[in-house]
Each structure stands twice: as C-alpha cells, then as structure tokens.
C-alpha cells in the first residue's frame, strides 16, 4: 500500500481553502488528521491530486463555551478533547467518550470534524452528539448553515455536506443542572460494534427529558423514541425497572444490519444489554446529583 503522489496545500484561512477547492474541483479533497482519507487513498479507493490541509485555519481550532454551548472547531483532535482541563470541568462526559475513541495514535491525529465528515457508521461521537442534541455549522463562501447532527449524517460515508462545503464547528449544549449523559460502547475489532448514549434530565425528583441514541449497528445512528418515552415522567428513585425495560424496547425497534461484527439477532441482543446498562447508569448519575 503506497500513497500516490499529490500536491499538499496548507491554507491559513477558510477563504483560501475555498479558493483552492474551487480551483482544483474534483481533483481536490480537504483533510484534517488524514487518518481516514490517507487510508482510503492508500487502498486505492479514492484518488486526489491535491490535498487541502485544514489544520492551520484558526476558525477550525476554536474551543470555547458561549451561552451554555460548547463550540468545538472541526479541526480539534480527539486527544485535545479528552485531555483538556477545560472540557473535563465543563463537560466531563464528552472527555470520557473521547478517551475511548480508537487508540492514542488515531486520537492524536484524528479530529472530531473528520470523524463526522467521514461518516463511518461505527462512530462514537456521532451517537454521543445525537443524544446531546448537537448542531453542526457548515459553510461555503458567504453561505453558512446550522444542521442538527441527526440530519447531517445521511448514511455510510454520506453526509449533508454539499460539494465545496466545509464543516467548521460542532456546537454541543452543555449539560444543564440536573442532567446526565452516559456513553457506552462495545468493540471486538478496531471500530465499535455498538455505541449507545443516553441523556436524561430530572426536575424536582422526576425525569422530565430522555434521549437515547443507538449507533454502529446500522447505517446511521438513530434515536429510539419508543424507549425514551418509558423514561419520562418517572420518579428518579423508581426508574430502575424502566431503565431495564428500555433495553428490551430498544432491541425491538432498532434495525441492525449483519456485518463482520455479528448477525442481526446478535446485535439486537447487544442493544438490549447496552441500552439497559446505559440508561441504568444515567439514572444512577441523576440520583447522585
């Protein structure tokens, strides 16, 4: 496996990157860490004679909290998120999820934006961000739009990005008081066979909002609303049985595909066990807050 030759461009602004894309058209691709793009090029599955490295663009490296929303530039690496004291303080669940993505080499180079834009069905962040209600900021020239994560991920290796459009920022609502967000995964190979995230918020001792996202078992991550409704308007202290039942209901309603990770039946079983476990952990966290 050798990488075919290409010209490397290192723009310092979004405008410069967009000019390069316009100039080279289908011959060019952007990249951040290159952990996916360079691999598919080495395998001969994609060919570009021009690569545009986005890492030097300051707007894509932002990392800040504004009005209760964490804004993460698309070129921020998994390792930066997992190791940042700022993220640990503001959003420990995000740091926890990032710490379990891939291995340290991939986390050091790979970015949150690259993970979402590649849209591999086996993604920890895509599932986590769906449960957290994140939005993605995309831009092409002067046109900027904000897309909920559930609409951004369209299918395996397919996103809502249009030709020449760039993902610039991921906006994640910081957990409000009384909320918990738990992420679980199961992996036999390098990438996860199953990812589950559960967001819950309680008010006055009752669970008032629940979002359960299941990913990596089918083409795209999805919410399981049938299981979520079991965990709304329930006293936190007596939600344990509902959390277990949520796994049963989720297993009935997901639509897994069979692949190297296992059969449809096996994946339904994984969903049953891990959704129950994830919801139980979220209820536990609510009890402790």
Binding site for ligand FAD (CB under 6 A): 29-37, 54, 74, 101-102, 106, 109-111, 113-115, 117-118, 123-125, 161, 166-167, 190-192
Residue 207 tokens read as 């669970």
Nearer to ligand FAD, 196 or 243 (CB): 196
Radius of gyration of the chain (CA): 19
Residue 200 tokens read as 């819950």
- CB contact at 8 A, 49 and 7: yes
Nearer to ligand FAD, 74 or 249 (CB): 74
- CB of residue 32 to ligand FAD, shortest distance in Å: 3
- CB of residue 187 to ligand FAD, shortest distance in Å: 6
Nearer to ligand FAD, 114 or 256 (CB): 114
Nearer to ligand FAD, 88 or 191 (CB): 191
- CB of residue 36 to ligand FAD, shortest distance in Å: 3
Cα separation, 230 vs 110, whole angstroms? 37
Nearer to ligand FAD, 35 or 242 (CB): 35
Residue 89 tokens read as 């303080």
Nearer to ligand FAD, 124 or 201 (CB): 124
- CB of residue 103 to ligand FAD, shortest distance in Å: 6
Residue 33 tokens read as 């860490």
Cα separation, 1 vs 141, whole angstroms? 36
104: exposed, middle or buried (C-beta count within 10 Å: 0-12, 13-18, 19+)?
Answer: exposed
Nearer to ligand FAD, 187 or 240 (CB): 187
- CB of residue 258 to ligand FAD, shortest distance in Å: 20
Cα separation, 59 vs 182, whole angstroms? 29
Cα separation, 107 vs 33, whole angstroms? 9
Residue identified by tokens 């609502």 is: 173
Measured torsion, CA atoms of residues 104, 81, 144, 37, in degrees rounded to the nearest 10: 0
DSSP 47-59: --SEEEE-TT-GG
What is the dihedral sign for C-alpha 188, 189, 193, 197?
Answer: positive
- CB of residue 273 to ligand FAD, shortest distance in Å: 19
Using Cβ positions, the residue closest to ligand FAD within the complex turns out to be: 114
- CB of residue 22 to ligand FAD, shortest distance in Å: 15
């Amino acid at each position: 496996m050798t990488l075919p030759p290409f010209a490397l461009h290192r723009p310092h602004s979004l405008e410069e990157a967009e000019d390069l894309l316009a100039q080279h058209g289908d011959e060019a691709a952007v990249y951040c860490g290159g952990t996916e793009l360079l691999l598919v090029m080495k395998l001969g599955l994609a060919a570009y004679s021009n690569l545009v490295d986005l890492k030097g663009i300051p707007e894509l490296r932002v990392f800040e909290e504004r009005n209760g929303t964490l804004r993460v530039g698309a070129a921020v690496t998994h390792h930066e998120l997992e190791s940042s004291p700022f993220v640990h303080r503001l959003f420990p669940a995000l740091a926890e999820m990032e710490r379990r993505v891939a291995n340290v080499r991939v986390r050091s180079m790979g970015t949150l934006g690259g993970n979402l834009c590649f849209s591999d069905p086996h993604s920890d962040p895509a599932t986590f961000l769906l449960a957290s209600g994140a939005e993605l900021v995309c831009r092409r020239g002067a046109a900027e739009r904000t897309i909920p994560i559930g609409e951004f991920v369209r299918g395996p290796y397919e996103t809502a990005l249009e030709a020449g459009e760039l993902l610039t920022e991921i906006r994640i609502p910081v957990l409000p008081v009384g909320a918990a967000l738990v992420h679980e995964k199961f992996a036999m190979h390098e990438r996860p066979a199953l990812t589950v995230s559960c967001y819950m918020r309680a008010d006055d001792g009752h669970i008032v909002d629940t979002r359960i996202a299941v990913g990596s078992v089918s083409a795209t991550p999805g919410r399981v609303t049938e299981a979520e409704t079991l965990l709304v308007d329930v006293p936190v202290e007596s939600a344990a049985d509902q959390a277990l039942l949520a796994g049963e209901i989720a297993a009935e309603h997901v639509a897994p595909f069979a692949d190297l990770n296992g059969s449809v039946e096996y994946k339904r079983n994984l969903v049953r066990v891990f959704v129950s476990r994830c919801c139980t952990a979220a209820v536990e966290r609510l009890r402790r807050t």
